[in-house]
Structure 1
Amino acid sequence: MATVSLFRARLVLFLKGMAMGVADSVPGVSGGTIAVISGIYEALIDALKQCHPLALKTLWQQGPRAFWQQIHGAFLFTLLAGTLLSLVLMANTVLYLLETYFVLVMAFFMGLVLASCFLLRADAGRWTLFKGLLFGIGFMLTALTAILNPMAGSTALVYIFFSGMIAICAMILPGISGAFILLLLGVYEYVLGALRSFQLEVILVFALGCVIGLLSFAHLLSWTFRYYREQSYAFLIGMLAASLIVLWPWRDASVPAADAGTLVAALLCAAAGFGLILAFSRWARA
């Protein structure tokens, strides 16, 4: 029975990782959002915090088993495996959907974001003026990304490395999309294309930048959640709510005005996204 329960827990965690990968592959959506609503965000941050150079001392003195337990290796490996598999499998699908059904895809993810804000409001506890201020700061921080113009970018490996460092910090934050940051840096299609065609050199350099950026940022996030948990959620909900600006499909002048049929389809997609998050949250926390 214990083995079955462990297998189920690992499978659920793997599927949550896949859901995070799907979210991180779409500009405007954050894998951190999925981590929060599925109830693993704080556990993820705490696990990442343990992956520091001093952990090698445990490896040297106590062996691989103690080292693996200290860094929450089983948790991180299962989640990362699901995320990476999803990113590889979804590369072609995401590009196709964005090119063919851009408005509907954005509407669907707007539904995801709205549902996430609805669910996360309880984590902020009783709302106060200070929490409202933190919400506003988080909202403005994310909203600023909506008015930034993408840079030309570069395919140099050094640039790819630092792009990974910056984007991964956004990927772990609900509301700021790592994929959207890659768009701003001008390397989104290049990195996604590298994943699709298995350009190992680019993938490894980008992944190294992600690892270094993520482990560094995890310490700050862990500290804020430890001492200011409700305030942190108020700030994150603000960031998440502002991502609706980034996701608004008609913000881009190149997107044609919607007719009645498109609006109805967009509303249905948004409702589907909203319902999916409610169902996913109930299942993930069961």
Structure 2
Amino acid sequence: MFPITTREFIFAIFNGILIGIANLIPGVSGGTFALVLGLYDRLILATTSIDTSTIKISIAFLLSPHKRESRVNFAEELRRIDAFFLGSVFLGVMIAVVLGAKFMQFALANHPSITLALFIGLIIPSLSVPWKMVENRKFSTLIWMIPGIVLAILPVFFIADKAGSDNPIIGFVTGAIAISAMVLPGVSGSYIMLVLGEYQVVLAKLSNILDPSSILFLGAFAIGCLAGLLAFTRLIRYLLEHHKSTTMSFLIGLILGSFFILWPFKDFSAGQTVTGRSGEVKRDIQIATAKNIIPEQASDIAWVLGSIAIGLMLGIGLNYVEALKGENYKDKHPHHPNHPSDSRKS
């Protein structure tokens, strides 16, 4: 069984918390922080390692936990799929979602500009992490940042004004596309559902989840999410293994494009008003769809610059901590199958 030290466990949970917080930021996905934390390729490799053999070995262990062979096979399988790492990160994500959701809602509702500025400052210095992964820094490689920037910004101009269809087939397609977007840094799954006009449909179905039509639609949506996740993560893994520098350039472009969504000066009243399951206005959607504006008051600029400065300091400190963690991991597990250095560079 692949060992995990207390220090590695704490770092993984901490990283998971940051990724979970990113999921609470309007217009940004958890993939953003996974990338700037240097975890993106390892998460993709670990996720795509889960296959039918994992299911078979797990079932065999559950049916015969007393047999030594089933225990050994199960332990080896956990090591192969990097289960301890995945579990620790997932635990951190859950902690952030459960404990941070209320705080993030309060911050976005009462201090949206300062909150968005803080995350801009946090992300900027952390971009050095994926930048270091771009080993081939030729023009033909770096040019791939441009389509990444465009892909992150483009959905802003295509937000649907009306709700979409509740056809289960549309639900399946929506789930597959939305989960694929969530895997990409700088792209929010909920944002893509807004573009497709399905965000309100999904909320409505969740609000009336026991209705047969809701069960059918949400079931198709969930299957679409699973199919999209399995297919898209494998595509990303292939690209990371065979065209890593080009892929990383594109992913960096996605994050740079997300700064357009995080721009702290907005006409918040012009954002799309979407109500949640309990009837409250979803502030994150309102902010993500609000129009960017130029600030008029010097005091507004001062507060935002101060918040960015705090974020920059936090980001620099985070880089230092992550560097220590990275060196510790490489020294202890240089031959682990999901070690990031195993990916072939291009």
TM-score, normalization by structure 2: 0.69
Note the C-alpha offset of 1:214.
Answer: 2.5
2:273 maps to 1:263: no
Note the C-alpha offset of 1:148.
Answer: 2.3
Q: Measure the CA separation in 2 of the matches of 1:284 and 1:194.
A: 41
2:240 maps to 1:231: no
Which ranges in structure 2 are unaligned for 5 or more consecutive residues? Answer: 61-68, 271-289, 325-346
Residue 49 of structure 1 contacts residue 215 of structure 1 at CA under 8 Å; is this kept in 2? yes
TM-score, normalization by structure 1: 0.81
2:306 maps to 1:277: no
| Alignment root-mean-square deviation, CA | 3.4
Note the C-alpha offset of 1:241.
Answer: 0.8
The 1:112/1:180 distance shift into structure 2, 3 A limit, reads: farther
Say which one has the larger Rg. Answer: 2
Residue 144 of structure 2 contacts residue 250 of structure 2 at CA under 8 Å; is this kept in 1? yes
The 1:38/1:98 distance shift into structure 2, 3 A limit, reads: same
Q: Measure the CA separation in 2 of the matches of 1:183 and 1:175.
A: 15
Cα distance per residue 1:137-172 (max 9 Å; x no partner): 111111212222145447969577765543332333
* Percent pairwise identity: 29
2:35 maps to 1:20: no
Equivalence for 2:54? 55
Equivalence for 2:277? none
SS across alignment from 2:191: helix
Equivalence for 1:172? 183
The 1:93/1:258 distance shift into structure 2, 3 A limit, reads: farther
The 1:59/1:19 distance shift into structure 2, 3 A limit, reads: same
RCO comparison, higher one (Cα < 8 Å, 6+): 1
Cα distance per residue 1:192-226 (max 9 Å; x no partner): 9999x9x9999x96777655432322111111111
Equivalence for 2:334? none
- Between 1:27-36 and 1:264-273, the stretch displaced more is 27-36
Greater fraction of residues in helix: 1
Residue 264 of structure 2 contacts residue 304 of structure 2 at CA under 8 Å; is this kept in 1? no
- Between 1:164-173 and 1:93-102, the stretch displaced more is 164-173
2:234 maps to 1:213: no
| Number of residue pairs aligned between Structure 1 and Structure 2 | 280
SS across alignment from 1:285: helix
Equivalence for 1:109? 119
Residue 13 of structure 2 contacts residue 88 of structure 2 at CA under 8 Å; is this kept in 1? yes
Which of 82, 87, 109 in structure 2 is aligned with 1:99?
A: 109
Note the C-alpha offset of 1:97.
Answer: 1.5
Q: Measure the CA separation in 2 of the matches of 1:11 and 1:210.
A: 29
Q: Measure the CA separation in 2 of the matches of 1:209 and 1:85.
A: 26
Q: Measure the CA separation in 2 of the matches of 1:283 and 1:209.
A: 37
Which ranges in structure 1 are unaligned for 5 or more consecutive residues? Answer: none
The 1:244/1:186 distance shift into structure 2, 3 A limit, reads: same
